[in-house]
């Protein structure tokens, strides 16, 4: 068991070097062979099952492809599987928790799409200087600017009053005798319109009524 752990650590420390030569890659393969040789002890003591899938683990399976990928892309120093684990939490676990557990794939993709758009909008706002401070700081600046503007407007009003002081408006003089002449007050807003034809007097109406009573009615056959 200790030899298996030592072989695994040798593999890890070789893979984390900044520069890898052909000799280093050979040592990497040798450490991998030793690890596969000694890890069967975990099956012997019942830690892992005895089936073909006893060591079917993603990280241990990735160790087989290290030499080929290093020859293709260079030393993997600084690369860690925790990067994909963090993305797995953000892109899979959290969107799944926000879904209603029914047809979750579409909901998860929509959540990731909206999250990406919000992230892009945040970067754009920060470049425009819109998110440089907190909302409290922004409200404080806004209040200070409003107070400064009010003070400036008050100073402008005082300066204008000193340059051209306003004359008080004289109140209209009402004569003592209102019937003695026209009253110079404010305009009258109401008026009365009289009828164009005079109303008939009560006497003429009574004459018409008496004539109507004396007139014989015509019989209709």
Domain borders along the chain are: 2-73, 80-148
Nearest by Cα to 75 from 31, 13, 5, 7: 13
Tell me what the pLDDT averaged over the chain comes to: 78
Question: For position 120, what pLDDT does the model report?
Answer: 93
CA-CA distance, 187 to 167, in Å (whole number)? 23
Q: Which of 122-126, 138-142, 215-219 has the highest mean pLDDT?
A: 122-126
pLDDT band, residue 48 (cuts 50/70/90): confident
pLDDT band at 43 (very low <50, low <70, confident <90, very high): confident
Least confident of 14-18, 39-43, 196-200: 196-200
pLDDT digits (tens, 9 = 90+) for 155-175: 556 555 555 555 555 555 555
pLDDT, tens digit (0-9, with 9 covering 90-100), for 122-132:
899 888 877 77
């Amino acid at each position: 068991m200790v030899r298996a752990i030592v072989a695994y650590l040798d593999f890890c420390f070789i893979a984390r070097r900044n520069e890898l030569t052909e000799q280093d890659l050979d040592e990497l393969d040798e450490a991998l062979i030793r690890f596969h040789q000694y890890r069967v002890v975990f099956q012997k003591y019942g830690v892992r099952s005895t089936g073909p899938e006893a060591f079917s683990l993603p990280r241990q399976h990735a160790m087989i492809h290290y030499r080929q990928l290093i020859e293709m892309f260079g030393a993997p120093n600084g690369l860690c599987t925790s990067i994909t684990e963090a993305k797995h939490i953000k892109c899979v676990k959290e969107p799944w928790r926000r879904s209603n557990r029914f047809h979750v794939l579409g909901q998860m993709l929509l959540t990731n799409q909206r999250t990406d758009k919000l992230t892009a909008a945040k970067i754009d706002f920060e470049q425009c200087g819109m998110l440089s401070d907190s909302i409290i700081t922004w409200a404080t600046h806004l209040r200070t600017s409003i107070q400064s503007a009010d003070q400036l407007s008050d100073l402008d009003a005082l300066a204008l009053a000193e340059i051209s002081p306003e004359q008080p408006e004289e109140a209209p003089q009402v004569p003592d005798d209102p019937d003695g002449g026209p009253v110079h007050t404010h305009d009258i807003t109401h008026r009365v319109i009289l009828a164009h034809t005079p109303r008939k007097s009560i006497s003429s109406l009574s004459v018409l009524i008496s004539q109507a009573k004396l007139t014989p009615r015509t019989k209709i056959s």
